[in-house]
Each structure stands twice: as C-alpha cells, then as structure tokens.
Chain A
Amino acid sequence: MSLQEFWDYLVLGVMLGSLYAVIAIGYTLVYGVLQLLNFAHSEVFMLGAYGSLIVLQFVSPADNPSALASIGYVALAMAGSALFGGVTAYGLEKVAYRPLRRRGAPRLIFLITAIGASFFLYNLAGKLFGRDPMTLPEMYDNHNVLTIFGAGVNVTQLLQFATAVVMMICLDLLVNRTKLGKGIRAVAQDAEVASLMGVDIDRVISRTFVIGGVMGGVAGFLFANLNQASYTMGFIPGITAFAAAVVGGIGNIRGAMAGGILIGIVETMTVPLLGDQWRSVSAMVVLILVLMFRPMGILGERVGRAA
C-alpha cells in the first residue's frame, strides 16, 4: 500500500466512521437512559433511508439542478429521513419498550422484544417498498470539491462528513447545555432519584429515543446516498455501529464518536489489506479484541455522565 493509497483510505475511513459515530450515538444514548441495547436501532436507520427516498419520489429532482435547488433537495430528503427515524424510534419506545418498563421485565425480555421489533420492521419495509435495493435519485452534481493529503473528496462524502459533524456538535450541546440534556444525564445516572427530583422519566426516555432516532434516520439517508437503500441495509451498519459504541465505551457519547471513527478507519483499511469481503469481519474482530483487553472501551463507560 503506497502512501497515497494510505491517505486515500484514511480519508475514506474517517468519512465512513463519522457515519458510524452518528448511529453509535443512538445506541449509546438509549443505553445511557435504559441500560438496554436497542437492537431495533438499525431499523430506525433503514426506515430513515426510506423516508428520504419517499420524499425524493414526491419531489422528483430535476436533471442538472442549480446549486440552490440541490441544497433544497438535500434538505428535504434529510427532513424526511429525520421524520421517519424519529417517528419510528418514538413508536418503538411507546409500543415495545414502555409496557415492559412498566412491568419491570428482565433485560432478556427487552432484548428479545427489540429483536422481534427489528425483525418485524425490516420485513414490513421489505413488503411495503419492495425487496430490491433502490438508488436515491440524483440531487446534485457529484464532483470532487476538495483534496485532503492528495485524496479527493466529492460532494457526497463532504455532505456525509459535514452533516455528521454538525449533528454531533448539536447533540453535545443539547446534552450538556439544555434542560432536556440535564434530564437525560439525570435519568442515566439514577432514574429513581431523578424521578424524585421531578424529572419526568417517561418523557425524557421518549425524547432520548426520538433524538437517537432522528440522528439514525439522517444517517440512513446519508448511507443510502452513498450506497443504496434496501430493507436489509440496517443490519450490518447496525452491528458495526454497535461495535463502535462498545469500543468507545458504551453510554459515553464522545466515546461513541471516537469508536465510530476508529471502526470506520479499521474497516476501510481492511479493504486494501485483506479485500473487500472481509470488511464487516474486521469490526467484529476489533470489538472482540477490545472486550478482551479493555472491556470498558477506549474512553471508558460513563453511563450517567453522558459527555
């Protein structure tokens, strides 16, 4: 691998990693407040992609759109994906998790419900929208816009990276600076005490799901924009992002960001070294290695101090 190739793949890896980071945050946020793996988060991601697809079908972008129109299309698609992701996550919490939480069900039951919900959602999406992969319509002229260390970055990649970074900054501010953020941190630290202090736990949990869902949905749009949308698209990025969340330290939002970038780089570097077919294996290998040698993750678990 030449030096130039190394830079090329590194840049690619960071871009991909930013996407994983955004999905990983969805896992970590929910883990923070519920100590629960939200297996169905990958389906939130998938439905986000379909949300943008549906909006774009309505709008049907013109050929060779002007710069302003391109921005409009992208914004609309993003709004569609955010809406779908948020609504799916909200519905999941309401229908599948809240009854169990009320009853104080064991965590095993939560996990199985999450798997069932994930199974239901992706097969329903396959049924409703057809089972072949679909490409998003072209919203802008995809050309190289800048060069980093000799590696070209095109509009799609820049959009992906910029959106991910903006979302992560917004989330960081939200969790650390707002009242809702304070509520999320309080529930993550000790739900019972938080409720005694007047935090409406149900509302905080529900909103946490929605925040994670919106981010996951937009990530779904970005992913579909890069590759394709299909009803099974959530599974692999979902596991990978989960691995990223654990690698960074579950419950730790900045950890999820770091883990996402790391996993993205490792995965992309696997391609020139071992071949494309081993990509998703590398993430699992990293996960198992991290669990063996540093089970609390790189930045450490900080459930409760979600920052």
Chain B
Amino acid sequence: MSVVESSKDTGKGTGENIASAASRLRRTAWYQQPRFTRLWAMVALGVLLALVTGEQGTTRDIFFSVKGSLTGLNLWICLAVTIGIWALREFAAEPIKSSVAAVKSTVSGPAGTVQDRLRADARLRWGLIVGGLVLALWLPSTLARTWQTVLVDQIAIFALLAIGLNVVIGWAGLLDLGFFAFFAVGAYSTAYWTGRLPVEPPVVLNNFWVIPIAVVTCLITGVLLGAPTLRLRGDYLAIVTLGFHEIIYLVAKNADGLTGGPQGARLIPDFSFSFGGIEYEWSIDPLPYWYLLVFFIVLVIVLFSRLEHSRVGRAWTAIREDEIAAAANGVDTVKFKLMAFAIGASTSGVAGVIFTSKYGYINPEVFPLLQSILILAYVIFGGMGSIPGVLMGAALLVWLPEALKDYVDPADRYMYLGALLVIMMIYRPQGIWPSRRRQRELTMAGEGVGDADAMSEPAGGKA
C-alpha cells in the first residue's frame, strides 16, 4: 500500500517517474519472496517441533515446559532439521527429485508387477491369504505373554472395530465419531445378560448367546440414532454421534441403579460352551481368545467383502461418489446410509462383547471418547475402504505406542496421533494401503468430479 501511495505522490507529472514507480511496484521485496515465506514457515515448524518434543509441563510453573523447550539444545536441533529440509528443498530440489524418481522406478517396477500379478492370479491371492492366516494362527504362540495380551486385548479388538468402522467411513463415506459408544453398548449388554448389573435380566445367558442379542441391540440403537440425522447433511452425523458417545458415557457413569455407576460391573464370565459332551471354557490365557477373535475377524471380513461387491456395496459406492446422482438413479440413499451405520454399529457391539468377556470387568472409564477417535485414526492411517489397509493401520498404530513405550512419554502419544491425522490428510489422504477405487475418487474429487464422501447436502434437498 505504502509503495503505491508514495509513488502517486512523487510521480505526478513525468512519464519517467511513473515508469520507475511501476518497476518499483513490480519488484517484490526480499522478504516477500516465496522462498523466504517458506523459510519462516519452516522456522515456525521447528519451534513447534521443539515444543512438541520438549519436556512435560507442570501446573505449578506454567512456563516450565515452554522455557525448557525453547532454551536448550533441543530447539537448535529442531531448527537445524527444519531449516536443513528447507535448504535441501530450495537449493537441491532437482538432484533429489531425480534420485527419488530413480529409486521409485526401481522399487515400484517389481512391486508393481507383484501387485498386478496378485490382481490377475486368483490362486496366488488365495495362497497368500491362506498363508497369512496360518501365520496369524501360529505366530502368536511364539510370542512373549505380554505381547500376546497386547495382541488380543488391543490389536485384535481394534482390528475388528476398524473393519466395522471401515464400512461406515470407507464404504458409505459417513463420519461416525461415536463408534466406540456401540462397543460400550455391547459391553453393557454382556454385563446385563450375564447378570452382573444391578438390574436383573429375565434369563442369564451364555456369552455366545449375548453376541446376537448385542448385534440386535446395536442395530436398533444405530437405527434410532441414525434415522433422524442421516436425512440431514452428513456432517451433522459426526457431531450427533459425538454427542451420543458422551451421552452413553454419562449414562454409564451416572445411572448407578442401571449400570453400576463408576464401579461398573465385575466378575463377568468368560466364553464357554458345552455341546455334545465337549466342554470348554476360555480363561485368562490370551491364546484361545486370539483364535476366537481371528475367527470373528475372518467371518466379518468374509461377510463384508461379500457385501462390498453386492447391490448394497454398489449402492454405498454410488452414494459416496455422488449422492444426488445415486438418488436420481433410484438408490434409496437414507436406507443404505442407515444400513451402513447400523452394520458398523453392530460390529462394534460384537467387539464389545468379546472384550468384556476377556477382560472380566468394565467401568465407564473404559469407554472414553478418545477411543472413537483412535479407531478413526487407525482406519484413516491404513486407508479407508481397504480391508487389508485398515487391518494394517490398526496393527501398526496399536503396536507402535506399545513398542515405543520406554522412549516416548505415553501421555504424549495422542498428540502425535493427532499430528499424524493432520499430516496424513494433507499429504496422503488415501492411507498407507489404499483401495484403488478410493484413491481414484479422491483424485477425482480434487478435480471437481464427485464427492468421495456422503457429507454434502442430501439428495432432494433438506428433509
């Protein structure tokens, strides 16, 4: 602004003055150059990095952590790293680009052929799937007990949950932030039907019978919650499910007469069956539960991948890619969205039943909102819409914090997870193992074709 005004003042008469003023206008100052702006951004990033990796703060001295992170060696290391990245990108971009491309072509050359062969050759694919399954059944027996527990209590449960959420978010394109609430519904159903809650059930059931009941309960809850909101704009679903999670949590915590309040329920029995003279009871040993969970995961994968390529799955794809076009072609969008939502919810409920039986006790603190966000992060990281992707995402992201427990403060891991979500969304929204279709949809949405989610205005205007 000031440049313009001053040039107006000084360059009144002569053309020469006007020309020089114009050239001055055209010239950008050194600090206006994009290169300099990028440097500033990197410096800011370095400071942020120093804060993120710095010491834990304390409420006694609010400046303790900030002071510590911004005075020590840490800051200089972080700044050196980010400024180094800046310098490399500014001054050595070409050689790096070409060498990266060279590496990429050598790596993806054979990798690409493996992928293509996998797609083309059904026998090879099946061989790999069976091989992976055998490995999944055999490998855990060689692990240490602590890792077996992690595998069962967390990885397997979250894998099951991630497959369920994948239906909602990856296939139908709906954002469900209260997914773990249905897990709580499943868990409390287990406690109720095994007679461990303050309210007596009409009949005490075996845990295996609780599974179908929990599925039905979650289906009904999902429909009740989804019916009013799924008719509306998709992003309302996100906030309503978030609120629903909070309601479930508060009910679990405060309705003492119904849910046992903060104490929750304890002494919930394990799975057991006695059929035709064979009796078996699952116990504290993680391995039998692992086999049970693998069974359920495989079952759910088989069911869902049948669904993916059925009429229902195609309807989901249509809704996701362009809701209005789908409705115009006769897809009942509300019905199919509701279906995806309810199917996801019941998967979450099943996971809740298994978890509760394994753990033996529950209380409201097992179901914080955090968990819903965690599963979301797993699905996103792995690649929404791709079953191997979400399995991998769940396994990796559950395993990583456990493995880094001794090096990184556990309290910080959610911070890193949040950062990971943002970075993934900016640089690789399709995830580490994307489904091909999803990847293409995201590219197309970037070019203004289709939506790649069911978040826009509902077809046919507002209800």
Contacts and interface: CB of A to CB of B under 8 A. Distances in A.
Contacts of B380: 112
A96 B426 contact: yes
A127 B415 contact: yes
A106 B254 CA distance: 39
B440 to A, nearest CB: 13
Interface residues of A, number: 59
B128 interface: no
A121 B380 CA distance: 19
Contacts of B247: 281, 284-285
Contact of B373 (A108, A115, A134): A115
Nearest to B68: A128
Interface stretch (A97-105, A158-166, A214-222): A97-105
B228 A292 contact: yes
Interface stretch (B152-160, B237-245, B273-281): B237-245
Q: How large is the interface on B (under 10, 10 to 19, 20 to 34, 35 or more residues)?
A: 35 or more
A295 interface: yes
A116 interface: yes
Interface string B343-385: 0000000000000000000000000010001001100100000
A93 B132 CA distance: 43
A280 B421 CA distance: 28
A107 B233 CA distance: 11
Contacts of B66: 128
A132 B424 CA distance: 31
A113 interface: yes
Given A104-B445, A106-B445, A120-B418, A295 B462 contact: yes
A262 to B, nearest CB: 16
A278 B414 CA distance: 28
Contact of B250 (A54, A112, A280): A280
Nearest to A124: B415
A106 B453 contact: yes
Given A100-B425, A281-B250, A295 B463 contact: yes
A128 B65 contact: yes
Interface stretch (A66-74, A142-150, A182-190, A238-246): A238-246
B62 A295 contact: no
Contacts of B369: 235
A278 B250 contact: yes
A105 B446 contact: yes
Contact of A280 (B231, B246, B414, B446): B246
A57 interface: yes
B235 interface: yes
Contacts of B417: 116, 119
Interface in A214-259: 235-236, 239, 242-243, 246
Contact of B453 (A108, A115, A284): A108
A2 interface: no
B239 A127 contact: no
B239 A239 contact: yes
A6 interface: no
A246 to B, nearest CB: 7
Given A100-B426, A123-B415, A134-B59, A111 B421 contact: no
B123 interface: no
B415 A130 contact: no
A111 B235 contact: yes
B446 A104 contact: yes
B228 A291 contact: yes
A57 B373 CA distance: 34
Interface in B422-443: 422, 424-426, 429, 442
A111 B234 CA distance: 11
B62 A130 contact: yes
* 5 A-B pairs closest in CB distance: A116-B421, A119-B418, A120-B418, A130-B59, A108-B453
